[in-house]
Amino acid sequence: DIQMTQSPSSLSASVGDRVTITCRASQSVTRFLNWYQHKPGEAPKLLISAASTLQTGVPSRFSGSGSGTDFTLTISSLQREDFAIYYCQQTHGSPPTFGPGTKVEIK
């Protein structure tokens, strides 16, 4: 299985801050990398597919980049509703695997 890691595992930030989350794969996943946002008690939400394609309805403050083994999710100006856990997921190999998550908390 392709192993996914994320850093940091958690971070504290203020509204308006720029936040960057890193995801690394144990082998190349080309650009088959998705990002999800998950708030407790809610359904996870797909934010970005194929490393950088923003899903319809997702605010433009979210962006993704990377290819191969190294990827980033950036929130350009953190809003209150962005406090959540963020997961990366690779779909290059089978089974698809997720990163352990990055918890974004209010400072």
Partner 1 sequence: QVQLQESGPGLVKPSETLSLTCTVSGGSLNNYYWSWIRQPPGKGLEWIGHIYSSGSPSYNPSLKSRVTISGDTSKNQFSLELTSVTATDAAVYFCARHLRFYSSGWSYAFDIWGQGRVVIVSS
* Cβ atoms of residues 83 and 105 within 8 Å: yes
Q: Is the distance from CB of 105 to CB of 40 less than 8 angstroms?
A: no
Binding to partner 1 by residue 87, rule CB under 8 A?
yes
What's the token pair of residue 86?
A: 């963020």
Question: Which CB, 78 or 104, lies closer to partner 1?
Answer: 104
Nearer to partner 1, 14 or 94 (CB): 94
Q: Is 10:102 a contact under the CB 8 Å cutoff?
A: yes
Choosing from 10, 30, 77, 79, the residue that interacts with partner 1 (CB under 8 A) is: 30
Residue 95 makes contact with partner 1 by CB under 8 A: yes
Near partner 1 by CB under 8 A: residue from 13, 28, 54, 101: 101
Residue 12 sits at φ, ψ, to 5 deg, of -110, 130
d(CA 62, CA 48): 8
Q: Which residues bind partner 1 (CB under 8 A)?
A: 30-32, 34, 36, 41-46, 49-50, 53, 55, 87, 89, 91-92, 94-101
